[in-house]
């Protein structure tokens, strides 16, 4: 049996790709047997003082994760390796995505990037960041030129 993989690209196209994959999966469950780019699920929480980002990273080691934080977003990237349980085995169903992933999460408020702390336990990545104070002003002194 031959497999058809259709790959379109961007966000709208990714969603369209999922729908097309589901149609083919209904016809033949083995259709999903391919490496794909996947997007881990993410939750974002906000309190008065901080923003917390949780990401579902089951099956990864913390050494395989790359995290970048700036004032307005968090980038989480890495690679989940395929699990090979048996030699010369044939998949009857393959739904666990693997391969490279990248999530850019836009934050609801600006944060202090230097305050970011990440922890990883039980397949969940947590990134905590302090919010920048709103309305806090910074006095600028004027230097006279001679």
Q: Enumerate the domain spans of the chain.
A: 1-34, 40-88+97-130
Three-point CA angle 68, 71, 72, nearest 5° = 90
Residue 80's pLDDT is 87
pTM over 0.75: no
Specify the pLDDT at position 3: 61
Give residue 88's pLDDT: 80
Q: Are 131 and 49 in contact (CB under 8 A)?
A: yes
Residue-wise pLDDT for 5-40, tens only, equals 555 545 666 677 777 776 665 655 554 444 456 789
Task: Give me the DSSP letters along 111-122.
Answer: B-GGG-EEEEET
- Interior angle at CA 124, CA 84 and CA 80, nearest 5: 30
| 40-88+97-130 CATH | 2.60.40.790
| Positions of the chain with pLDDT lower than 70, given as ranges | 1-14, 22-37, 136-138, 146
- In sequence order, the 6+-apart residues with CB closer than 8 A to the CB of 100 are 37, 77, 78, 79
Question: Is residue 126 within 8 Å of 52, Cβ to Cβ?
Answer: yes
């Amino acid at each position: 049996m031959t497999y058809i993989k259709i790959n379109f690209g961007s966000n709208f196209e990714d969603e369209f790709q999922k729908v097309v994959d589901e149609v083919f999966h209904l016809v033949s469950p083995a259709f999903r047997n391919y490496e794909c780019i996947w997007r881990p699920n993410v939750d974002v929480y906000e309190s008065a003082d901080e923003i917390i980002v949780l990401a579902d990273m089951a099956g990864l080691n913390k050494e395989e994760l790359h995290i970048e934080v700036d004032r307005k977003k968090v980038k989480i990237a890495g690679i989940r390796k395929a699990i090979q349980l048996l030699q010369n085995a044939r998949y009857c169903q393959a739904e666990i995505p693997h391969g490279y992933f990248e999530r850019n999460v836009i934050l609801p408020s600006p944060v202090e990037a230097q305050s970011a702390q990440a922890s990883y336990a039980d397949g969940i990545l947590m990134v905590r960041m302090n919010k920048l104070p709103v309305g806090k002003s910074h006095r600028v002194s004027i230097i006279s030129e001679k």
